[in-house]
Amino acid sequence: MSFEVGVLAYPAGSCLVSFGNTKVLCAASIEEGVPPFIEQEGEGWLTAEYAMLPASVPEGRKRRERDSRAVEIQRFIGRSLRAALDRTRLGPYTIVIDCDVLQADGGTRTAAISGGWVALYQALEKLAELHGVEGPEYFLAGQVAAVSVGIVEGQLVADLDFAHDLAAQVDMNVVMCDDRLVEVQGNGEKGAFTREELDAMLDLAAQEIGLIYEAQRAALGLA
Amino acid sequence: MSFEVGVLAYPAGSCLVSFGNTKVLCAASIEEGVPPFIEQEGEGWLTAEYAMLPASVPEGRKRRERDSRAVEIQRFIGRSLRAALDRTRLGPYTIVIDCDVLQADGGTRTAAISGGWVALYQALEKLAELHGVEGPEYFLAGQVAAVSVGIVEGQLVADLDFAHDLAAQVDMNVVMCDDRLVEVQGNGEKGAFTREELDAMLDLAAQEIGLIYEAQRAALGLA
Amino acid sequence: MSFEVGVLAYPAGSCLVSFGNTKVLCAASIEEGVPPFIEQEGEGWLTAEYAMLPASVPEGRKRRERDSRAVEIQRFIGRSLRAALDRTRLGPYTIVIDCDVLQADGGTRTAAISGGWVALYQALEKLAELHGVEGPEYFLAGQVAAVSVGIVEGQLVADLDFAHDLAAQVDMNVVMCDDRLVEVQGNGEKGAFTREELDAMLDLAAQEIGLIYEAQRAALGLA
Amino acid sequence: MSFEVGVLAYPAGSCLVSFGNTKVLCAASIEEGVPPFIEQEGEGWLTAEYAMLPASVPEGRKRRERDSRAVEIQRFIGRSLRAALDRTRLGPYTIVIDCDVLQADGGTRTAAISGGWVALYQALEKLAELHGVEGPEYFLAGQVAAVSVGIVEGQLVADLDFAHDLAAQVDMNVVMCDDRLVEVQGNGEKGAFTREELDAMLDLAAQEIGLIYEAQRAALGLA
Amino acid sequence: MSFEVGVLAYPAGSCLVSFGNTKVLCAASIEEGVPPFIEQEGEGWLTAEYAMLPASVPEGRKRRERDSRAVEIQRFIGRSLRAALDRTRLGPYTIVIDCDVLQADGGTRTAAISGGWVALYQALEKLAELHGVEGPEYFLAGQVAAVSVGIVEGQLVADLDFAHDLAAQVDMNVVMCDDRLVEVQGNGEKGAFTREELDAMLDLAAQEIGLIYEAQRAALGLA
Amino acid sequence: MSFEVGVLAYPAGSCLVSFGNTKVLCAASIEEGVPPFIEQEGEGWLTAEYAMLPASVPEGRKRRERDSRAVEIQRFIGRSLRAALDRTRLGPYTIVIDCDVLQADGGTRTAAISGGWVALYQALEKLAELHGVEGPEYFLAGQVAAVSVGIVEGQLVADLDFAHDLAAQVDMNVVMCDDRLVEVQGNGEKGAFTREELDAMLDLAAQEIGLIYEAQRAALGLA
């Protein structure tokens, strides 16, 4: 697991995140204005876009079209990262987090959220300078990271790679903001699961997310 | 909460489900063949489609276009109902569950899953006759129902209606198949939540789903 | 033939119309503003949308896409119902008539027009209250109903059902507003027809429309 | 009114038809195969496409997009010209009639039908040679022409041009095949009409169509 | 090679250009306003649209869809004709050049540019009257014409027709404005070419364009 | 200028090319089968896709939609790289070259062609192993590279960056295969150019391409 910051010259924040063979390029851009449905609230907004490069997948080239799965994933990323933000302090700006998967070996959406938070942090540094406030913490509601966990052949597994993903009876994405839960998405289409199994997956997820928090902070040079 | 079965003349199964003011018309059709990506497995398939009528919403007419939110919801319905099915026994058929929302007052997706299972059961009765097997149980992996729960102004609430939905800090959709979990989708974009809150929501969901199981069976004339 | 009024909670008017096995759910919504092409005229507007639920058809599930046939039908419905309206008195409002076919056994467009008029009448009642005018008659130019007639195996037939529809040499849709004609659409692709046959079809249509007028008024509780 | 035949080098038939200022270029192409929905019948097919060049309209350049009005018109042209054809004798071929409006001053759809029949006749000559049958009459069910009539300021008018079209209270398109009616499309959205007015419009249409029949035959060098 | 001017009644300029069997109908329309990306510059704009009629091609009917090749060609036509224009003098107008191919036997894009210049000249005459300036020369930066040249079986060829086009090892489109080059597009996918071959093609192109200049001026009645 | 090879794990070839601030990720994938229009020729095919990441541009985030400019560019890349290939020896395979712009500072299409050739070379190494032929040279028709040159404020310039690009009176893309020309695309919309200027631009392009050839070979470890 690694986070490389500042890899792109033009956007306000950027981060290349690697989780095993999975590599996602995250960029945070600041745009003026907010979408119409949020206008009256007087707050800012954050949205995400997610796409996979055609040559990113092991099983043969993927077509370049926007599929509904990508839209579902980017809504998930957007919701998760909005939880990191105090939108009432953002002003009339929209932060766009572009997550482009360069290489996909499972867990791309959780890598995107974790890397997206790093790019967002950088963008908030720029915004803080611009607005003359103390630092990015002014806009931040917390630190966000995500992990995928699952049950494969009866065993708990974190960070499912592509091979594990196919074999998983249950797979679950967990997003946390500091020590609270933001999203829990568990799916047992291939084998329903018990409350005990759910509890064990959530424990493992919390532990893994702790490690990701440390790596995010190290990459940003935070204590 | 009510389930009215056999409301349409042509599809193999149909059910008009009402949860408070929410009304969803569910139809189950049997089509020959399966999608290409499932062909080699020698199993059957189930897919769902979800749409809202323009005049179904309280806040003014909704445009008739297919939005990505509808696609996300119908994937959720499809995954949930596939958990009810032993696809290895289905043969080369696809069951399509059409869920059309006539009136929407919150919880349309969980109403659709609960009503969809009733329509599916009827369609499996037809399929059982056709194939000369004992009954729909031959194809069934379990009884599926769903409920939405949430935290509104610090209180646990089941069956969120539209007004509650907007005010909810956390909302969670829970799908069960018999006494196991199939999907858990909790989202705290407007206020992250603790493990204790998650546990309380899951307890409430299980209790509500027990009541829905009874209503489904009564509508189908099952013991 | 039956008209059930007020079946939906949210739109200004609604009507479930049944002609034999054909069932169409009609809803009338009032929206502020008019389309750009009508803006300068200072009048109101009425438009219609028509769609079939996938499970509404006898011959297997219909795909959910908007086809050009639906667009042609909804233009026909819109033109017909605009004839019922004194648009100069409507003010800057657009009335949208949504016609969703729940079950289709022939004659869905004429059922939609006849049921649409009932939903429109209800919506005009709401509009009259809102504007403090005497009643819906203030906005009405007349009562509109429609019927399909045809020649099947040399015999005149009214209210063609699906089986008759396929076998018809000539089929004709007739829309009237009070005792005048609004639309006459006769099509003899499978067998051109004579002036005498046209006259006989129009006589039959006028007679049937008289019966529909009575049923519409009864459903609305009018003398 | 004029019909100029053979104006294009490549298609099987072609005709430039002028009705006043209206000019439509009609081309008939013969393609192997028939659409899937007609395949089992063992007959041939005819379909039409209709489009307007952007610079064809008086009121400023028209955008090049395919609108639903064009689709409705081309279905009308297709139905009308199929009535001219004995499809059981055509064999597994589809004749495509392309109608491109070079200049539009009202009545483009009826001009397209009348000119389309001339292009069709030429294509059937080619097909007759190809199949070694006596002549185009082998495939023909009759001569087809069309005219638009209407009521403008209380007066009966034939061949409505653009100015008349806007002012018409009633406008009606009439298509005939020999001395029988194929399509009657009367529309009184701006003023419903009586049976007597309908009769007068049909009389006028029949008279005008007689003149068009003569011009079509002259252009093709028929007696 | 021929240029027939004024063939359409409504647009500001029009020209039917024939190069061998290739026939392109060019129309120039004047619209108020300019595209958003040019607004700040205070200049006018010129854009082109290019399409082929379905029956225009020798090898069987072409589908009516807008393909990316047409878009590439119309950008090429637009760039070429903008070189003919002093956009600083045009004012806030957009000139649209519609190029519709009636018959295609190679070289349609160069025919469209050459004919498009003639239609443009006519439109500028109208604009000059409107603005009370001396004549079209006020807006003109020069005379534009285009030709395609190539190497077929080792021989230099001008005005490639369809058969030559397929066999060409190299084909090159050359556009000139007076005695300068505007566009040079040479493509040797089927056989790369030398600098000497490039020089010979450019010499031939310049010579051919001289002849086209004369024909354009003759058609417009210029000395 | 640098070429980094093998940067992606899954495709057959990959190369990250940097020209100044411009960075393009090129991937070469081998797919079975060829497009329908090439099937009868018994040869292989090569096609390219080109896209820009939203955060790749200096002037603010670019929308993710496929525009016609991207399609024009990818056709240009495809044509250029097909000239490098002896398609008669390729067998029934399609090589897809994906060119994704990570950062754009001018000259992205020429960078993509030059980097695409490196990725292609690697893919041909894999194909040679697979087919048991001596090496990639078996399939290669030559070494391909591209450069953009132009005239900016009267001065010849190579490798136009974004600032130069906007200011250029003439810009020209030149593609060579060994010592022959493959594509010459010169465009003087903002200022037509003379034959002498064309000659000077071609001389400069040939010189720059020589340097790129050396860098490509060094990256691949070729003598």
Tokens of E137: 């020369």
Q: Which amino acid does the sequence have at F145?
A: A
Count residue pairs from D and E with Cβ separation < 8 A. 75
Contact D180, C190 (CB under 8 A): no
Q: Divide the 223 residues of chain A into consecutive groups of 10 and give the mean pLDDT of each group.
A: 94 96 97 90 94 93 88 96 94 96 94 98 94 92 96 88 79 96 91 93 97 97 88
E strand residue ranges, C75-202: 93-103, 144-152, 155-158, 168-177, 180-187
Say what the pLDDT of residue A140 is: 95
CA distance F79 to F175: 10
Say what the pLDDT of residue F89 is: 93
**Average pLDDT rounded to a whole number, residues B160-172:** 81
Please judge whether E53 and D102 are an interchain contact, meaning their C-beta atoms are less than 8 angstroms apart.
no
Say yes or no to pLDDT of C109 above 90: yes
Please judge whether F55 and A11 are an interchain contact, meaning their C-beta atoms are less than 8 angstroms apart.
yes
Chain A hits for B204, Cβ within 8 Å: none
**Average pLDDT rounded to a whole number, residues D28-42:** 91
Say yes or no to pLDDT of F68 above 90: no
Say what the pLDDT of residue E146 is: 97
Say what the pLDDT of residue F164 is: 76
Q: From edge to edge, which strands make up the β-sheet containing F13-19? A: F2-5, F13-19, F22-32, F93-103, F45-52
Exposed, middle or buried by CB within 10 Å (0-12, 13-18, 19+), for B134?
exposed
Q: Tens digit of pLDDT for each residue in D97-150?
A: 999 999 999 899 999 999 999 999 999 999 999 889 989 999 999 999 999 999
Contact B222, A214 (CB under 8 A): no
Mutate to test the interface with A, among B41, B67, B72 (most CBs of A within 10 A): B72
B122-126 contacts: CB < 8 A, separation 24 or more? B122/B5, B122/B6, B122/B12, B122/B13, B122/B14, B122/B15, B122/B28, B122/B220, B123/B11, B123/B12, B123/B13, B123/B28, B123/B29, B123/B30, B123/B95, B124/B13, B125/B13, B126/B12, B126/B13, B126/B30
Residues making up the binding site of F for phosphate: 69, 107-109
Q: Tens digit of pLDDT for each residue in E23-46?
A: 999 999 999 999 998 888 889 999
Domain that holds residue E16: 2-219
Chains that touch A (3 or more CB pairs under 8 A): B, F
- Locate tokens 């209180």: which residue? B155
Nearest to C181 among D178, D183, D198 (CB): D198
Q: Tens digit of pLDDT for each residue in C21-73?
A: 999 999 999 999 999 988 888 899 999 999 999 999 998 899 988 788 999 99
Distance from CA of B20 to the nearest CA of C (A): 12
Buried b vs exposed e over D45-66: b needs ≥16 C-beta within 10 Å? bbbbbbbbbbbbbeeebbeeee
* Of D79, D139, D66, residue with least CA distance to D109: D79
Q: Tens digit of pLDDT for each residue in C189-207?
A: 778 999 999 999 999 999 9
Please give the C-alpha separations between residue B221 and each of B120, C189, D49, in angstroms, as whole numbers.
Answer: 15, 50, 55
Nearest to C193 among D181, D187, D193 (CB): D181
Say yes or no to pLDDT of E163 above 80: no
Say what the pLDDT of residue C175 is: 98
Q: From edge to edge, which strands make up the β-sheet containing D45-52? A: D2-5, D13-19, D22-32, D93-103, D45-52
* SS3 assignment for F171-191: EEEEEEECCEEEEEEEECCCC
Helix, strand or coil, per DSSP, at residue C86: coil
Please give the C-alpha separations between residue B195 and each of A150, B186, D218, E49, F88, in angstroms, as whole numbers.
Answer: 18, 11, 88, 61, 64
Mutate to test the interface with B, among C7, C10, C32 (most CBs of B within 10 A): C10
CA distance B205 to B211: 10
**Average pLDDT rounded to a whole number, residues D181-200:** 92
Please judge whether C9 and B21 are an interchain contact, meaning their C-beta atoms are less than 8 angstroms apart.
yes
Chains that touch F (3 or more CB pairs under 8 A): A, E
CA distance B170 to B177: 23
CA distance C26 to C2: 13
Say what the pLDDT of residue E31 is: 95
Nearest to C192 among D181, D185, D188 (CB): D181
Q: Assess A169–B contact: CB distance below 8 Å, yes or no.
A: no
Say yes or no to pLDDT of D165 above 80: no
Q: Give one DSSP letter per residue of D120-158, joined into a string.
A: HHHHHHHHHHHHT-S-GGGTBS--EEEEEEEEETTEEEE
Nearest to A68 among B71, B142, B186 (CB): B71
Q: Assess B185–A contact: CB distance below 8 Å, yes or no.
A: yes
* Of D146, D95, D89, D91, residue with least CA distance to D120: D95
Contact F120, F82 (CB under 8 A): no
Contact B127, B32 (CB under 8 A): no
Say what the pLDDT of residue C128 is: 94
Q: From edge to edge, which strands make up the β-sheet containing E13-19? A: E2-5, E13-19, E22-32, E93-103, E45-52
Nearest to C8 among B9, B55, B66 (CB): B55
Q: Which residues pair with A151 in a beta bridge?
A: A156, A170
CA distance C85 to C177: 10
Q: How confident is the model at residue D176 (pLDDT cuts 50, 70, 90)?
A: very high
Smallest CA–CA distance from E183 into chain F, residue: F187
Number of domains in chain C: 1
* Of E45, E102, E106, E108, residue with least CA distance to E72: E108
Please give the C-alpha separations between residue D80 and each of A175, D117, D174, in angstroms, as whole numbers.
Answer: 62, 9, 10
Tokens of E134: 């001396």
The answer, yes or no, to whether B and C have at least 3 beta-carbon pairs within 8 Å is yes
Kindly report the CA angle at B65 between B64 and B68, in degrees rounded to 5? 135
The answer, yes or no, to whether A and B have at least 3 beta-carbon pairs within 8 Å is yes
CA distance D152 to D149: 10
Count CB neighbours of A198 within 10 A: 20
Q: Assess F150–A contact: CB distance below 8 Å, yes or no.
A: no
Helix, strand or coil, per DSSP, at residue E53: coil
Contact D99, D80 (CB under 8 A): no
User: Could you give the ipTM of this predicted complex?
Assistant: 0.93
Pairing of strands E45-52, E93-103: parallel
Count residue pairs from A and F with Cβ separation < 8 A. 75
* Of F64, F81, F160, residue with least CA distance to F120: F81
Residues in Cβ contact with E135 at an 8 Å cutoff, skipping those fewer than 6 apart:
E125, E128
Q: Which pTM value belongs to this model?
A: 0.90
Mutate to test the interface with E, among D23, D102, D122 (most CBs of E within 10 A): D102
How far is CA A13 from its chain centroid? 14
Q: What are phi and psi of A30, to 5 degrees?
A: -105, 120
Cα torsion E6, E8, E14, E16: sign:
negative
Contact F162, F183 (CB under 8 A): no
Please give the C-alpha separations between residue A60 and each of B41, C170, D150, F79, F120, in angstroms, as whole numbers.
Answer: 20, 55, 63, 23, 16
**Average pLDDT rounded to a whole number, residues E63-74:** 90
Q: Tens digit of pLDDT for each residue in E97-154?
A: 999 999 999 899 999 999 999 999 999 999 999 889 989 999 999 999 999 999 998 8
Buried b vs exposed e over B62-99: b needs ≥16 C-beta within 10 Å? beeeeeeebbbbbbbbbbbbbbbbebeebeebbbbbbb
Say what the pLDDT of residue B168 is: 84
Contact B117, B146 (CB under 8 A): no
Say what the pLDDT of residue D61 is: 92
Mean pLDDT of chain C: 93
* Of B18, B13, B12, residue with least CA distance to B212: B18
Say what the pLDDT of residue F23 is: 97
Nearest to D9 among E29, E54, E103 (CB): E103
Say yes or no to pLDDT of F160 above 80: no
Distance from CA of E188 to the nearest CA of F (A): 5
Q: Which amino acid does the sequence have at D176?
A: M
Q: Tens digit of pLDDT for each residue in B189-221?
A: 778 999 999 999 999 999 999 999 999 999 999
Pairing of strands A45-52, A22-32: unpaired
Q: Give one DSSP letter per residue of B14-43, joined into a string.
A: EEEEEETTEEEEEEEEEEES--GGGGGGT-
**Average pLDDT rounded to a whole number, residues C151-178:** 87
CATH code for the domain of C34: 3.30.230.70
CA distance C4 to C111: 13
* Of E139, E166, E134, residue with least CA distance to E152: E166
Mean pLDDT of chain D: 93
Please give the C-alpha separations between residue F222 and each of B163, F16, F213, in angstroms, as whole numbers.
Answer: 69, 18, 11
Which one is predicted more confidently, F206 or A130? F206
Say what the pLDDT of residue E82 is: 96
* Of E220, E185, E213, residue with least CA distance to E201: E185
CA distance C98 to C68: 17
CA distance F55 to C109: 50
